[in-house]
Structure 1
Amino acid sequence: MFSDKFIQYIKHEKRFSAHTVTAYENDLKQFIAYLNPSGSTPSVIHPSEVSHHHIRNWMVQLMDEKLNARSVSRKLATLRKYFKFLLQQGLITANPASKVSSPRPDKKLPVIVDTDKITAMLDGRLDNEEDVVFPHTFKGLRDKLVIEMLFGTGMRLAELLSIKEDDIDTYERTIKVLGKRNKQRLLPVNNELFELIGQYIEAKKNQNFHNNSLTFIVTDKGANAYPKLIYLIVQKYLSYISTQNKKSPHVLRHTFATTLLNNGANLNAIKELLGHANLSATQIYTHNSVERLKSIYKQAHPKA
């Protein structure tokens, strides 16, 4: 199958990573094994005899074996590159994998948390209040601000970490963030978050940190905040209100967008607030809203 030549090609000429090379090698071994089952006469000897039917049937078998669509698509990508290499080498006259479409990936709904619960937590209205209330310390204030900023603006983790104090316009009540592809956008700030920002700035000054950080959000010692710190803060406080496994800054971003949509916000406006390049990335949140409507219908309609 000339697979050895291909592996040497991607390893030494294309300089793919060792992990990628191993993945490609395993994919090709699996495909060759499918074409030549053990104990039977090989049905395919030369790559020129491989047709798109062989590839499509293999993909169907993989899906029947419960391999997810993303993994099957990756194996198809391996075959496309492999047969493209053989085509360039003049060993075949057509790439059979080019006629096969990738399986449509399963759409995963964004994971969100209950809006009422997170609002109650931020307002200090939970039953186990004594355990949840943010401590009246600089650290407690900083932690609360992190949750409020992620939930109140929908900004990304990287955007939160890159904010400087100069990016906060206290007159216009906006925060300037630098998103993907270095695109800047302005995010509106609600009244509670605006007051919290003011309290944080004052508390930060009173700490008299010796090392002047460049970022707005800082560690307990005044250094620039870092991703793991934000993850730990989010995981700590979301564990008070949610039992789901996923507790990350992006969950708060998903919750922000879904909450806006459920309360009638325009999809294009949500797109701009999230900093999405196109509307298709924002439309995933409509699925959560549809599921919510189905749930309400089942609970409220006598024919449901």
Structure 2
Amino acid sequence: MSIQAFSDYLLLEKKYSEHTVLAYTRDIENFQKFLVQQQYTNDVSKVNYFEIRQWIIALVDQNITNRSINRKISSLNSYFKFLLKTEEIKLNPLKQHKALKVGKKVQLPFSEKELLTVLESTIKVVDFETARNHFIIELFYATGIRRIELVKLKISDIDRSNGLIKVLGKRNKERYIPLIESLRISYNRYIEYRNNLPVVIDDEMLFLTKDGLKIYEKLVYRIINKYFSEASTKSKCSPHVLRHSFATHLLNQGADLNTVKELLGHASLASTQVYTHSSITDLKKVHSNSHPRNQK
């Protein structure tokens, strides 16, 4: 069974994004190269667990983190499950595998002060690109959407009359997020500049490059990194940190965990709970000030 068949399955049947499918197939192809280099086999479907363990050891020797190795093995496991489904193999060689231990990754959000500094001081809106960049940051912070979701937004997804934004999330699941006033202002300003672009090629897409083409993920990352590197001392300044900031700040202000879950487009509460760690200080403060047994 070819890797391409697996790729088509993920894309067409499982409805995974192109980015996710590319990551899965790249991991499997890298494993295939390892097998050939070690003169084991050139057919991934015929491997045994010993050969997989040798790959893991080789990855560790390359100083690749346990988290990244687990992700690669997860890709491989998905491929084997697909081969079981299509009856190409009878036994998954990873059935008894246990993931490598990883330390709990703490993702620190931007502070409210850092957000305000970027939105109100760092970005000076004077042209199309600065108006677009301000709107992108405002949108990330006001909605908590993922980078790929922002890139895929269309003009028609902004419903100004009802004050909603339609977001197409993972596995093509739609959700609606309120269009708050600050976002309306930033949107209107961006649209004015957008309408004056000399050439617009991808006209249905909301976010464009200065050449009128659909914006791309790497550019979005560079935009966020540029502005927040100036305003923050954090080592990581990415769109995901903005998503994290959105969730954390809502929870700090008393938002219900289920509501934040729906806004983020998570399938389960477990995914949303990772954002609660930085709210513990506020939680302790509320508990201390509010619990009847602690009243004087």
Range into which the TM-score falls when normalised by the shorter chain: 0.5 to 0.7
Alignment map for 1:1-304 (pairs within 5 Å): 11-12=42-43, 14=45, 24-27=53-56, 70=67, 102=99, 105-124=102-121, 132-291=122-281
Give the aligned residue type for 1:165.
I
Shift of 1:182: 0.7
Q: TM-score, normalised by structure 1?
A: 0.65
Tell me the equivalent position of 1:51.
Answer: none
**Equivalence for 1:86:** none
Give the residue type in structure 2 aligned to 1:196.
Answer: S
Structure 2 residues not aligned, in runs of 5+: 1-34, 78-93, 288-296
8 Å CA contact retained: 1:175, 1:188: yes
| Secondary structure, aligned partner of 2:43 | helix
Q: Which has the larger radius of gyration?
A: 1
Tell me if structure 2 keeps the 8 A contact 1:27–1:75: no
Q: Quick one: distance in 1 between partners of 2:205 and 2:71?
A: 39
- Give how far 1:99 is off: 7.3
Give the CA RMSD over aligned residues. 3.8
Q: Read off the aligned partner of 2:231 and give its amino acid letter.
A: I
Residue 72 and residue 201 in structure 1: after superposition, are their counterparts in 2 closer, same or farther (change >3 A)?
closer
**Preserved CA contact (<8 Å) 1:11 1:21:** no
> Which sits farther off after the overlay, 236-245 or 257-266?
236-245
Amino acid at match of 2:258: N
The residue type equivalent to 2:144 in the other structure is: G
Deviation readout 1:135-157 (Å, 9 max, x if unpaired): 31111101100100111100000
Aligned partners of 2:194 and 2:188: how far apart in 1?
A: 10
Structure 1: which 5+ residue stretches go unaligned?
31-61, 81-96, 125-131, 298-304
Q: Return the alpha-carbon distance in structure 1 between the equivalents of residues 236 and 196 of structure 2.
A: 35
Q: Aligned residues, how many?
A: 232
Equivalent-residue separation in structure 1 for 2:58 and 2:197 (angstroms):
61
2:202–2:208 contact (8 Å) kept in structure 1: no
Give TM-score, length-normalised by structure 2.
0.66
Letter aligned with residue 113 of structure 2 = D
User: Percent sequence identity over matched residues?
Assistant: 37
